[in-house]
Amino acid sequence: MNQKLHQLLCGVALLLTSAMAQALDHSHAAWQALLAKHVKPSPSGNASAVDYAALKVERPALTAYLASLTAVSEGEYEQWSKPQRLAFLINAYNAFTVELILSKYPDLESIKDLGSLFQSPWKKKFFSLLGQERKLDDIEHGMIRAPGAFDDPRIHAAVVCASIGCPMLRAEAFVAERLDAQLDDGLRRFMADASRNRFDAASGRLQVSKIFDWYGKDFEKGHKGYDSLKSTFARHAEQLAAAPEARSRVRNGDYRVEFLDYDWRLNDSRRADR
């Protein structure tokens, strides 16, 4: 192959790669369609389950959406607004998690079944993002929670590890235009789910998700007014307690915190006990 032809082909390849990256649909419509069809909100609207069996039938659509994420270059990503970047990463985490589940579904009871004695499922490299081979921990801890990147504790009610103990997977994609409202709503719904967060007035115990134990320091950074777990719980007293007196106690910090056991069972809508 002569040098000019080689240069021409290289140029065409670069243009195609750039076009694919720029073609990312920031409405994440393909992911939105899958979520709207296969995520089943609870009657309260504060929890959800996933119809993995039906979603597995539509796995080619998920594969195509994941390919559109993989096609984005790091340079293109860096040109986006901060809300666009965060929406992209949250959707990527959730979608690749679903893909990981589908790789072994229905032969698993928990995402932990996909790990081993030597490697957790969150440390398995099984996809590419921004030009590098990645694992789920890279998205959550290396990119979303990287100091100075976003510093937003509300993401802990947005990234979902396919478990009953997790915050609900929304039946919609995260999008930059509504990201702030979606993050607020997600944390509010998580706090309002009494199976995971609640105030027991009789015992004076504020029983909350283990997430607040694992990531408590993320709620101390002052982002959007979140400067401590105590102020976070006070802000959401209305969700954590039903009676006015109980809410007042939560706002005043009159409780003893107890972190609940985490339910790692798969958030499968076809479970017999759901």
Q: What is the pLDDT of residue 23?
A: 67
CA distance 237 to 246: 8
Query: Using one digit for the tens of pLDDT, what is the confidence trace for 99-108?
Result: 999 999 999 9
Give the pLDDT confidence score for residue 18 in this predicted structure.
45
Query: Quick one: average pLDDT of 128-141?
Result: 98
Residue 110 has pLDDT above 90, yes or no: yes
Determine the average pLDDT of the residues in 16-40: 82
Q: What per-residue confidence (pLDDT) applies to 22?
A: 52
Taking the C-alpha atoms of residue 112 and residue 122, their distance in angstroms, rounded to an integer, is 9
Interval 2-18 mean pLDDT: 45
Asked if residues 164 and 271 have their Cβ atoms less than 8 Å apart, the reply is no
Average pLDDT (222-232) is 92
Which pTM was predicted? 0.90
User: Where does the chain show beta strands of DSSP type E?
Assistant: 39-41, 48-50, 127-129, 132-134, 198-200, 205-208, 256-259
**Where do the domains of the chain lie?**
23-259
pLDDT for residue 223: 86
Closest C-alpha among 191, 166, 194 to residue 49 = 166
Report the greatest alpha carbon distance in the chain.
82
Tens digits of per-residue pLDDT, 121-133? 999 999 999 999 9
CB atoms within 10 A of CB 17: 13
| % the chain with pLDDT above 70 | 91
Rounded mean pLDDT of the chain? 92
- Tell me how far apart the alpha carbons of residues 132 and 271 are, in angstroms, rounded to a whole number: 36
Give me the percent of the chain exceeding a pLDDT of 90: 86
The position carrying tokens 């649909």 is: 25
Confidence at residue 17, expressed as pLDDT on a 0 to 100 scale: 44
Q: Hey, which residues does 60 pair with through a beta bridge? A: none
